[in-house]
Amino acid sequence: MSTQRTQVAIIGGGPSGMLLAQLLDRQGIDSVVLERRSRAHVLGRIRAGVLERGMRALMEEAGVAQRMRTEGLTHSGVLLGHGDQRFRIDLEELTGHRVTVYGQTELTRDLYDARGARGGAVIHDVSDVTIGDIRSDAPEVTYHVDGQPHRLACDFIAGCDGFHGVSRHAIPEASRQEFEKTYPFAWLGLLSDTPPVDAELLYTSSARGFALCSMRSAARSRYYLQCPVTERAQDWSDSAFWEELAHRLPADMARNLVTGPSIEKSVAPLRSFVCEPMQWGNLFLCGDAAHIVPPTGAKGLNTAASDVRYLYDGLRQFYKTGDRGGLDGYSAKALARVWKVERFSWWFSSLMHHFPDQSEFDQRMQMAEFEFLRSNRAAQEALALNYVGLPY
């Protein structure tokens, strides 16, 4: 078995793992990234792309923000609709901050290009990953590539390998607590090379269910429809999707809808999930390995970024001064923010979606909540503060 030595082993080559690696590298801290899929697969995944202020700042700090600055779409507001009612939340006026629409695929590509330019190690197509000795000062990761065993010795392990990865399960079951809520609906998404229905995102609810109008660029749109969890994307023709979307939009926006052939269609179930703690010995969980939020409000990638911020700060402090304070406090600090984000995503999802067991009273309460939000500045400010991103 071949053995390699690094300071930080990063399991998972998605955006959180690659962002952490890039930040560490710029501080002279060595890392190796292990990814179970190919580079082409990772860069082909289509994901959300609304970046909070904190995520943008991390991209700047990592030295990978050039394309984001030139190609990203800056939004100073967001639209909310209910039936034919619609109003705008002025994010910049309420908070002094804006968000940036920049596809996660492009962000990940920027991180891979930067990693390659600096000669950083990313090992793809790994299998049989096992984490060992995480309670000691000499943890290790063993894995296979092309059937050959390898061992990676390190000081710390960052588990950025998602909900189905091995990292979370390395924490003994008796020592971790998991909280989960599954929602009784999913999102049917369609990507198309068509201009967006509006210059800003629209979250809207109708008697037929929720819809989201978003975009990847001025010429590429991403739309979503609330659907049953049993729905299959292949059962929806493009024309059926466009027709249903038009029914769910406020009338004036439905008239602006430009349709076209889909590039991709998919169905994503909604759930909330949190694992406590987010660290065990010298293993630290980041992103979906520790928590998942519904996509309402685009908090998944952004919450992973806050984990990276806290872990990066702790590692930098340790290698600069030998002080473990930031690392030992990582889980408590990360979870304090995670639960606030979980609350916002749960609230926003509850406001905008139809639930199968919803009574007439529940519907009226939803309408009252929407009207209160439409007419109350303090409520709008609370939404805006969460939408642009809570401070780290």
Cα–Cα distance, 10 to 160 (Å, whole number): 7
Instruction: Name which residue leads in pLDDT, 48 or 145.
Output: 145
Determine how many CB atoms are found less than 10 A away from the CB of residue 278. Answer: 27
Model-wide pTM > 0.95:
yes
According to DSSP, the β-strands at 279-280 and 202-206 are unpaired
Model confidence band, residue 45 (pLDDT cutoffs 50, 70, 90): confident
pLDDT value of position 354: 95
Closest alpha carbon to 51 in 91, 11, 80, 93:
91
Q: State pLDDT tens for residues 256-290.
A: 999 999 999 999 999 999 999 999 999 999 999 99
Contacts 24+ apart (CB under 8 A), 138-145: 139/9, 139/281, 139/282, 139/283, 140/9, 141/9, 141/11, 141/34, 142/1, 143/34
**Helix ranges, 82-220 (H):** 91-95, 104-117
Q: Which residues contact 359 (CB under 8 A, 6 or more apart)?
A: none
User: Residue 52: is its pLDDT beyond 90?
Assistant: yes
Active-site residue set: 75, 203, 295, 299, 387
DSSP letter string, 2-51: EEEE-SEEEE--SHHHHHHHHHHHTTT--EEEE-SS-HHHHHH-----EE
The pLDDT of residue 36: 97
pLDDT of residue 267: 97
Backbone CA torsion sign across 266, 270, 276, 277: positive
pLDDT tens, position by position, 299-339:
999 999 999 999 999 999 999 999 999 999 999 999 999 99
Distance CA 170, CA 84 (A): 50
For the chain, give the mean pLDDT.
96
pLDDT, tens only, 215-240: 988 899 999 999 999 999 999 999 99
- Joined together, the tokens standing for residue 72 give 């990203």
E strands in 277-347: 279-280, 283-285, 291-292
* pLDDT bucket at 44, cuts 50 / 70 / 90: confident
Q: Which residues pair with 264 in a beta bridge?
A: 191
3-state secondary structure 367-385: HHHHHHHHHCHHHHHHHHH
Tokens standing for residue 28: 């002279």
Domains and CATH numbers, the chain: 2-75+100-180+272-348 (3.50.50.60), 183-270+355-388 (3.30.9.10)
Q: Which residues of 170-200 are buried (b: 16+ CB within 10 A; e: fewer)?
A: bbeeeebeeeeeebebbbbbbbbebbbbbeb
Judged against a pLDDT cut of 90, whether residue 24 lies above it is answered with yes
Greater confidence, 1 or 163?
163
Containing H/E element for 78? strand 77-82
Q: Confidence class of residue 21 from pLDDT cuts 50, 70 and 90?
A: very high
Q: How far apart are the first and last CA of the chain?
A: 41
